[in-house]
Amino acid sequence: MLLVKQELLAQLALELEKISPGAGAKAAFESPKLATLGDLASTAAMQLAKPLKLNPRQVAENLIAALMASAPYQRWVDTMGIAGPGFINIKLKAAAKQNVVTEVLTAGAGFGNQPARNQRIMVEFVSANPTGPLHVGHGRQAALGDAICNLYATQGWQVWREFYYNDAGVQIDTLAKSTQLRAQGFKPGDDCWPTDPDNPESKAFYNGDYIADIAADFLAKKTVQADDRSFTASGDVQDTDSIRQFAVAYLRHEQDLDLQAFAVKFDHYYLESSLYTSGRVQAAVDKLVSAGKTYERDGALWLQSTDYGDDKDRVMKKSDGSYTYFVPDVAYHISKWERGFAKVVNIQGMDHHGTIARVRAGLQAADVGIPSGYPDYVLHTMVRVMRGGEEVKISKRAGSYVTLRDLIEWTSKDAVRFFLLSRKADTEYLFDVDLARAQNNDNPVYYVQYAHARICSVLRSWAGDVATLKTIDLSHLQSPQALALMLQLAKYPEMLSSAAQDFAPHDVTFYLRELAACYHSYYDAERILVDDESVKNARLALVCATAQVLHNGLAVLGVSAPVTM
């Protein structure tokens, strides 16, 4: 049906150009508000009416007459009608819808994908500091980031996944001190353990059981191996530097295990410390100063970020000589630009909203050719977890929050991914563990996966060669349920493009649930393995194509497509 739509759209553009030069470039189809009105719709008549000073319904009538006289519309269109002030609704012939089955079976796993393009995109996500296990918020980031990467890959982009983490600073010092106290035999609640509520540093001490595990392995002089580092503990409780490096490597290894359980891989880990050791932070500051976009006041260095839409100027370098946290962010994003990533997407929590304006201001002020609006941001809300009808707020492993690994162990990787992607990123989400474990139609991931498994069961019973279905006669696919299912299959490529453009993997979950519903309705309406060979083959081709699109869509989400359930 892709070729059908392309032919119809090209003819629409041709006719619009005849009516009004330049109008052809704006030719487009929409989905009618009601399925009963048609399969495609156009608002072209209403758009042309005003500049032409004509009644939009009259324009629509003239346009319909011209289109129905053309070969593509005679071949693929059943009827065309006018609704309201001038909407043009198009009902396609069954043959037009049947065409999508062949397209899916021919393209296979590539159905819906666009040709490769010479464009690169970097998606930075998770980016958790190595101070504890990954929590469910990191899980939402991991699901979002990986799915957005997969979406852009379907659109032909060269995709790069990057993990940025703070391997220095106050949080890492606190991690080292917490581990050192544990190694010395102390624990939260002891007199020496910082508990003063008026002391900000004490509030940051890490109390989870994982700190005791790190301390025990440090004393045992163990070696830990993470994706980006390896370190052997000295076992000396006075060796603060060894404790710090071991704790960071230990938690990086733990985070690697979390990500492996979630089937997420990164192309690169970028260390914040490297921005300082490589001189990138100082180079970024020098660029801002030389561009005349900074000034000194009260012993501090300020960025004139209000020149770029920020609500107030921002301190870059404090009076004590230390940099504020957005300065390395600016240096980091200049690095992204210099590495050739003209498009960059950052997946971060809502608490990072305030950094957007100042980072973009810093990049503009640096005057290195970075366009305004760089980088793109996808901000997500945190996730609440319900289990047994009650909200779960802490994990024994972490001590203060539910970890990603907890959620995976309670349910499954597939359930966690699908559930965390089933709402817009900026929408608060309540993860219901009991629902995610349920094997019924109320569980959306089960509902979709069961549709795929159900088709695979039919194909096993048939035991034929799927390759033979690419060329069979599809004219028997005429029932309302079959036509509705084929129309849903045809929506997949445009849905992918739209979801990528809008950073909206939740659109994929919505689509898959609708596709599964269409299939279940079809399965209930028509028996597939009938005696008539030609009818059976046509129906097998349709369900085989449906399984392929379910598989493709689930793959974008990083969710498996089981063949049995």
Residue 533 has pLDDT above 90, yes or no: yes
- Please report the pLDDT score of residue 195 as a whole number: 59
Residue 38 has pLDDT above 70, yes or no: yes
Helix (H, G, I), strand (E, B) or coil at 245: helix
Residue 396 has pLDDT above 90, yes or no: no
- Please report the pLDDT score of residue 399 as a whole number: 64
DSSP E strands, 401-554? 429-432
Q: Note the pLDDT tens digit of each residue in 284-305.
A: 999 999 999 999 999 999 999 9
Average pLDDT score over residue span 305-315: 93
- Please report the pLDDT score of residue 354 as a whole number: 87
Q: Note the pLDDT tens digit of each residue in 44-86.
A: 999 999 888 899 999 999 999 999 999 999 999 999 999 999 9
The helix or strand, by DSSP H or E, that contains position 378, with its residue range, turns out to be strand 376-380
Phi and psi (nearest 5°) for 314?
A: -120, 140
- Please report the pLDDT score of residue 201 as a whole number: 47
CB of 247 closer than 8 Å to CB of 175 = yes
- Please report the pLDDT score of residue 10 as a whole number: 96
Residues 532-535: contacts with CB within 8 Å, 24+ apart? 534/472, 534/473, 534/476, 535/476
- Please report the pLDDT score of residue 2 as a whole number: 77
Q: b/e for 61-95, b at 16 or more Cβ within 10 A?
A: bebbebbeebebbeebbeebebbeebbbbbbbbbe
CATH 3.40.50.620, the chain: domain bounds: 278-380
- At a CB cut-off of 8 Å and minimum separation 6, what does 517 contact? none
Average pLDDT score over residue span 222-240: 93
- Please report the pLDDT score of residue 204 as a whole number: 57
- Please report the pLDDT score of residue 94 as a whole number: 95
- Please report the pLDDT score of residue 564 as a whole number: 96
Q: What is the CA radius of gyration of the chain?
A: 29
- At a CB cut-off of 8 Å and minimum separation 6, what does 456 contact? 547, 563, 564
- For residues 399 and 417, give the distance between their C-alpha atoms in angstroms, rounded to a whole number: 24
Tell me the one-letter amino acid at 239: D
Q: Note the pLDDT tens digit of each residue in 439-454.
A: 999 999 999 999 999 9
Q: What is the pTM of this model?
A: 0.91
- Please report the pLDDT score of residue 166 as a whole number: 84
Average pLDDT score over residue span 470-489: 96
CA distances from 185 to 30, 182, 192, 224 (A): 68, 5, 11, 22
Q: Omega of the bond prior to 133 within 30 degrees of 0, cis?
A: no
CB of 562 closer than 8 Å to CB of 551 = no
CATH 3.40.50.620, applies to 278-380: yes
CATH 1.10.730.10, the chain: domain bounds: 441-557
What is the number of other CB atoms lying within 10 angstroms of the CB of residue 455?
25
CATH 1.10.730.10, applies to 441-557: yes
Residue 4 has pLDDT above 60, yes or no: yes
Tokens read off for 430: 């309540």
- For residues 102 and 96, give the distance between their C-alpha atoms in angstroms, rounded to a whole number: 11
Residue 209 has pLDDT above 90, yes or no: no
- For residues 446 and 561, give the distance between their C-alpha atoms in angstroms, rounded to a whole number: 10
- For residues 73 and 10, give the distance between their C-alpha atoms in angstroms, rounded to a whole number: 11
pLDDT band at 193 (very low <50, low <70, confident <90, very high): confident
According to CATH, the topology of domain 2-92 is Gyrase A; domain 2 (3.30.1360)
Average pLDDT score over residue span 519-540: 97
- Mean of the per-residue pLDDT values of the chain: 93
- Please report the pLDDT score of residue 202 as a whole number: 46
Least confident residue range of 52-61, 200-209, 304-313: 200-209
Residue 228 has pLDDT above 90, yes or no: no
Average pLDDT score over residue span 476-481: 96
- For residues 68 and 78, give the distance between their C-alpha atoms in angstroms, rounded to a whole number: 10
| pLDDT > 70 in the chain, percent | 97
CB of 346 closer than 8 Å to CB of 377 = yes
- Please report the pLDDT score of residue 397 as a whole number: 59
Residue 197 has pLDDT above 90, yes or no: no
- At a CB cut-off of 8 Å and minimum separation 6, what does 398 contact? 132, 133, 135, 208, 210
DSSP string, 202-239: HHT---SHHHHHHHHHHHTT-EEE-SS-EEE----TT-
CATH 3.30.1360.70, the chain: domain bounds: 2-92
The packing angle between helices 44-52 and 56-68, to 10°, is 120
- Please report the pLDDT score of residue 108 as a whole number: 97
Q: Note the pLDDT tens digit of each residue in 112-169.
A: 999 999 999 999 999 998 888 899 999 999 999 999 999 999 999 999 999 998 887 7
- For residues 293 and 387, give the distance between their C-alpha atoms in angstroms, rounded to a whole number: 52
Average pLDDT score over residue span 479-490: 96
Residue 329 has pLDDT above 60, yes or no: yes
Average pLDDT score over residue span 405-409: 94
